[in-house]
């Protein structure tokens, strides 16, 4: 990247200062129990798995290539 400025160098100094971290909970989640959170997370993960399976069925060549890459990563992994 010869001739390019350092990333973010065009921003004003006051924007470069470190921002305060966001709170972990959203304001509307204040009364939510951990059970509700776990239930929503489980539902999200089920839907994510379903979407991945659908993508694999729709794009079999890409899915096969991804499986092969994963197998190669596992073969070359060292404990």
Instruction: Give the predicted TM-score (pTM) of the model.
Output: 0.46
Is residue 59 included in any domain, yes or no? Answer: yes
Written as tens digits, the pLDDT of the chain (79 aa) is 455 555 555 555 555 555 565 555 555 556 789 999 999 999 999 999 999 999 989 999 999 999 999 999 999 887 6
Is residue 73 included in any domain, yes or no? Answer: yes
- What is the pLDDT at residue 51? 95
- Residues 69 and 63: their CA atoms lie apart, in Å, by 10
What HEC string does 8-65 produce?
A: CCCCCHHHHCCCCCCCCCCHHHCCCCHHHHHHHHHHHHHHHHHHHHHHHHHCHHHHHH
Is residue 41 included in any domain, yes or no? Answer: yes
- What is the pLDDT at residue 31? 74
- What is the pLDDT at residue 78? 74
Is residue 64 included in any domain, yes or no? Answer: yes
What is the domain count for the chain? 1
């Amino acid at each position: 990247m010869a001739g390019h400025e350092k990333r973010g160098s065009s921003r004003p100094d006051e924007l470069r200062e470190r921002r305060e971290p966001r709170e972990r909970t959203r304001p509307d989640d204040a009364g939510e129990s951990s059970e509700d959170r776990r239930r929503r997370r489980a539902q999200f993960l089920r839907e994510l798995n379903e979407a991945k399976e659908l993508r694999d069925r729709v794009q079999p060549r890409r899915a096969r290539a991804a499986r092969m890459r994963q197998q190669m990563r596992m073969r070359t992994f060292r404990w």
